[in-house]
């Protein structure tokens, strides 16, 4: 949520952000509500002052033994007017808050202005794109015969965009998860965390998933209304909800493996083949809670933590700075890491690493004290995939395939695979 002071004092900056994000927003309505709110607030304060003066007069008259009946009648009238004004004010404040919740985060000054992903800027790339003496297959064709990746079996029970994995591919998927968790906990100091996969609406509001992304969620209705998490970022950021931390507590670094559930609203026709875009997939998620002055240093570190996984797996990738039109709703700045997929002959996103600054922490009321007895300030929250497991699996299968349809196991994973060096498909 944007700082209300910025909305009052620098509305042009907010308008520029919305414009550069290629979004629309009814600023006139927001301004009208603000003007009306100020007017009612002034009237309310005036009524409160009148009531206080009359109450004082009643006390003085009583002390003198004078009649106070007329004054009591005035006070009751003022009380009714005040109650109506307060109801109207609260309704306006609710409308104002609901509108403000639809505003995206302000963009960091370093974010390039652009329309969409075509305007993103390459920051760096790592590794050498593999050269094959044969035409490389995609992960679907490679595993079709053995059915170790089986979309038909999944479709029979769940419909499209689900998958069943079997045998060594399922084991490789598990090995990737364990490998990622070990690197992030043992080398980078993240605390491994297990979280609920079903959350209440207030957790989604706090993380910025609601109201903007309601259509992309799966909702469970029963005795309680819950939603399946679209990412572990939601429960991880909620760990500091309604919390005042001490400076000595920071930074907090969480890593979590979880399934993610997304309806993929509006993505019909995109990546319909294979595991690129699924309703259910696995991720190893990174979240950091830091002091505001250190959040952009933390963004660089978090991004490099995610990159390390690809480097250890010897998978070529590039890092992209997202332009204004491609940065997510909650983020002030984002780096996408894109891994090379031979079958598509291009890089595909495998991680987004973002600094949300205090946008999420305002919603969550996540704060800290710089020193004892100091006024609490909002922490900065960062998140990133370290990595998306299914897409990493695809990248390993496709980059490590041979002409006979086998998949070599990266050296970094062989210990997690019980010494297996190659999977026959």
List residues with catalytic annotation: 262, 277, 349, 352, 391
383 is in an annotated binding site: yes
53 is in an annotated binding site: no
Spatial contact of 244 and 182, defined as CB atoms under 8 Å apart? no
385 is in an annotated binding site: yes
355 is in an annotated binding site: no
Query: Which strands form 252-261's sheet, in the order they lie side by side?
Result: 121-126, 317-321, 333-341, 346-355, 380-388, 280-290, 252-261, 191-192
Residue 294 CB coordination number (10 Å)? 14
Instruction: Name the DSSP letter for residue 349.
Output: E
192 is in an annotated binding site: no
Instruction: Name the DSSP letter for residue 401.
Output: B
258 is in an annotated binding site: no
H-only helix segments in 101-149: 139-144
66 is in an annotated binding site: no
* Residues in contact with 174: Cβ distance below 8 Å, sequence separation at least 6, in sequence order: 416
Task: State the residue for tokens 């089986």.
Answer: 150
361 is in an annotated binding site: no
Closest CA to 345 of 119, 118, 136: 136
Closest CA to 326 of 10, 104, 126, 2: 104
Element (H, E) at 46: helix 27-64
> For residue 65, which phi and psi values (nearest 5 degrees)?
80, 20
Bridge partners (DSSP) listed for residue 287: 254, 383
Tell me how far apart the alpha carbons of residues 93 and 97 are, in angstroms, rounded to a whole number. Answer: 6
232 is in an annotated binding site: yes
Tell me how far apart the alpha carbons of residues 28 and 26 are, in angstroms, rounded to a whole number. Answer: 5
285 is in an annotated binding site: yes
Structure tokens at 375: 């006024």
* Residues in contact with 320: Cβ distance below 8 Å, sequence separation at least 6, in sequence order: 120, 121, 122, 123, 335, 336, 337, 338
Spatial contact of 355 and 298, defined as CB atoms under 8 Å apart? yes
133 is in an annotated binding site: no
Rg (CA), the chain: 27
Bridge partners (DSSP) listed for residue 406: 424
Structure tokens at 318: 């590039």
Tell me how far apart the alpha carbons of residues 137 and 397 are, in angstroms, rounded to a whole number. Answer: 10
Beta strand 252-261 with 191-192 is parallel
* Residues in contact with 364: Cβ distance below 8 Å, sequence separation at least 6, in sequence order: 206, 207, 237, 238, 240, 241, 242, 381
Residue ranges of the annotated binding site for ATP are 262-264, 349-352
Residue ranges of the annotated binding site for L-serine are 231-233, 262, 285, 383, 385
Residue ranges of the annotated binding site are 231-233, 262-264, 285, 349-352, 383, 385
């Amino acid at each position: 949520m944007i700082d209300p002071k910025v909305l009052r004092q620098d509305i042009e900056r907010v308008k520029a952000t919305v414009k550069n994000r290629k979004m629309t927003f009814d600023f006139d309505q927001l301004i009208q509500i603000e003007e009306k709110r100020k007017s009612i607030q002034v009237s309310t304060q005036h009524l409160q002052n009148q009531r206080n003066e009359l109450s004082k007069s009643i006390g003085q008259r009583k002390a003198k033994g004078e009649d106070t009946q007329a004054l009591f009648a005035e006070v009751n009238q003022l009380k009714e007017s005040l109650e109506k004004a307060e109801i109207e004010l609260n309704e306006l404040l609710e409308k104002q808050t609901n509108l403000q919740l639809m505003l995206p985060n302000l963009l960091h000054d370093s974010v390039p202005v652009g329309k969409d992903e075509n305007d993103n800027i390459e920051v760096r790339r790592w590794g050498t794109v593999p050269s094959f003496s044969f035409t490389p297959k995609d992960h679907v064709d490679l595993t079709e015969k053995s059915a170790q990746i089986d979309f038909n079996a999944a479709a029979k029970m769940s419909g499209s965009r689900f998958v069943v994995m079997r045998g060594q591919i399922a084991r490789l998927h598990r090995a990737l998860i364990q490998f990622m968790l070990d690197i992030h906990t043992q080398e980078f100091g993240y605390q491994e965390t297990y979280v609920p996969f079903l959350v209440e609406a207030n957790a989604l509001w706090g993380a910025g998933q609601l109201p903007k992304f309601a259509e992309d969620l799966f909702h469970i209705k029963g005795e309680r209304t819950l939603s399946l998490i679209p990412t572990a970022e939601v429960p991880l950021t909620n760990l500091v909800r309604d919390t005042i931390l001490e400076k000595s507590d920071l930074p907090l670094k969480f890593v979590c493996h979880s399934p993610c559930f997304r309806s993929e609203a509006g993505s019909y026709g995109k990546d319909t083949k294979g595991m690129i875009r699924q309703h259910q997939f696995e991720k190893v998620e990174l979240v950091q809670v830091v002091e505001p002055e250190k959040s952009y240093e933390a963004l660089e570190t978090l991004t490099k933590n995610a990159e390390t996984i690809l480097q250890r797996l010897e998978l070529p990738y590039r890092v992209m700075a997202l332009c204004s039109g491609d940065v997510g709703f909650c983020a002030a700045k984002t780096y996408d890491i894109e891994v090379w997929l031979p079958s598509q002959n291009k890089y595909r996103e495998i991680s987004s690493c973002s600094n949300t600054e205090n946008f999420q922490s305002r919603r969550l009321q996540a704060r800290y004290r710089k020193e004892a007895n100091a006024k609490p300030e909002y922490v900065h929250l960062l998140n990133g995939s370290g990595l998306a497991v299914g897409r990493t699996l695809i990248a390993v299968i496709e980059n490590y395939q041979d002409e006979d349809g086998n998949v070599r196991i990266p050296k970094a994973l062989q210990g997690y695979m019980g010494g297996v060096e190659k999977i026959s498909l």
